[in-house]
Amino acid sequence: MNGGGLIRHIIALTGIVLYAHVGYAQELRFDEAKRLALDKNKMIKAYEEEFETAKYSYDRARGGYLPKINITETGTRTDEPANAAFSKMAQGRFDMNYFMSQMKDPDAVTNYETKIEIIQPVFMNGKIFFGVKQAREMKEASEYTLERVKQTVLYNLHKAFYGVALAERALTTTEKSYDRTKRYYDIAANYYENGMLVKSDLLVAQSYTLMNEGAIQEAEKQVAVAKSVLQRITDSDRDWDVVWEDPDYAFRQDLDYYLHVAIKNRQDLIAMGKYLNASRYEEKKSVSRLLPELAVFGNYSQSDDTILGDAADGYTVGARVKLNLFNGFSDFNHIREQRSRYRSLLNKVADKRLAIKVEVKDGYYSVLSAQKRLRAANKRVDAVREALAITERRFKAGLDKITDLLDREVDVKEAELGMYMSKYDLILSKAKLLFAAGILK
């Protein structure tokens, strides 16, 4: 091999390698897409953090039962008679002579007080008790909401994943249609040159070819958009080459079964029930404001004219009872407010049950309809393909016009697109039914 040939060989190999790296699209199956979505989807991560927030709120509410411990260091300097006297008394540095001779015009006194205080709630008129129960319901509601968000992402993944597959099938079908139309146009052009075809028929054949060129461009756009949606759900910018696999979801022709499962399992309905319980606890908490509060406390303090000094020390213990007698009807109106909010949520939960039944019925009958459409679409594809073959033979025999042949070709393209659309609809309808029932996995 001469030098020029070797260089051309190296360039050719380099081009092949570069093309392989640039043009390669990684194969993606649905199970892997599902794993990516559940692991990386941003909405799922956002609601996972909301669940973590709810757990911390629950822990914070339970902390209300624990004692509060504070340590303070207070420094003062004063020559105001009363305060100066109290500072001297706190330090144990006072006598009758001080009160008799210096108290009227004392020198400035510096005092540092170090105090450790413990407050233990005993009965906080139900605020802690109902607050804990309320926080627990909110935490559980957040957990069910997270599960519903995951199912929403999975349902959207079905639409995106099989949307890419459908768009790619549509592109392939349109490209095949273009190839057939181009071939028919070439035949028509040959017939026209030999005086066997009028120009108007040739122009019709050309227009069909141009229409398919435009359809290919539109199909390519749909593929790009569908892949972009899939990339968003899987949080990946890879150029996926999806594999069309029927998830083969089981389907029971038993509407009552799906209705029962939905009312029992729908995570958003359960979450609304938890929010309803939390509202009830808020109402009880508002009623409990009318009850007394009881807390015990104790503190130890030491005072000196230097920081952390202990010239004098002592302790104090006691109990505090607080009874709310009147605060401008604020508590009574708060009770009414919470009762109205509870009744509002009660009606929303009832309406949600009805809405779920509508969603289940929609999904159920969508499956039945999609099954029938797919059977009809398969039969139509077989019929139009045979019709195209017959018309092509008749055209070559001079028995049919080029326009008849082109019409049959369009029928084939539309029938094949309809068949793929019916397959897509059936997969999505089954996913919609399972999503409506709250059991999409």
Of the candidates 122, 169, 135, 157, which has an alpha carbon nearest to the alpha carbon of residue 41?
157
Outline where DSSP puts E strands in 251-340. Answer: 293-304, 312-322
Would you say how long the chain is, in residues? 441
* Residue 146: burial class (beta carbons within 10 Å; 0-12, 13-18, 19+): buried
Contact 413, 177 (CB under 8 A): yes
| Spacing of C-alpha 364 from chain mean position | 24
Separation between Cα atoms, residue 82 and residue 221, nearest integer Å: 86
pLDDT at 15: 40
The most distant pair of C-alpha atoms in the chain lies apart, rounded to whole Å, by 139
Q: What is the mean pLDDT of each run of 10 residues along the chain (441 residues)?
A: 46 38 68 92 95 95 92 91 84 75 81 92 86 95 96 94 90 90 87 83 85 88 90 87 87 96 96 95 86 90 87 89 83 88 95 97 96 95 94 87 89 94 95 96 89
pLDDT at 350: 96
Of the candidates 364, 334, 340, which has an alpha carbon nearest to the alpha carbon of residue 435?
364
Domains and CATH numbers, the chain: 29-437 (1.20.1600.10)
Q: Which token pair is 190?
A: 């040959």
Q: Which token pair is 304?
A: 């000196």
Of the candidates 222, 218, 125, 112, which has an alpha carbon nearest to the alpha carbon of residue 167?
222
Contacts for 12 with CB less than 8 Å, ≥ 6 apart? none
Contact 50, 140 (CB under 8 A): no
Bridge partners (DSSP) of residue 115 are: 72, 301
- Residue whose structure tokens are 């049950």: 353
pLDDT at 24: 53
* Residue 297: burial class (beta carbons within 10 Å; 0-12, 13-18, 19+): middle
pLDDT at 25: 63
Bridge partners (DSSP) of residue 121 are: 295
pLDDT at 290: 83
Q: How far is CA 62 from CA 57, 128, 135, in A?
A: 9, 8, 9
Bridge partners (DSSP) of residue 68 are: 119
What is the three-class DSSP state of 29? coil
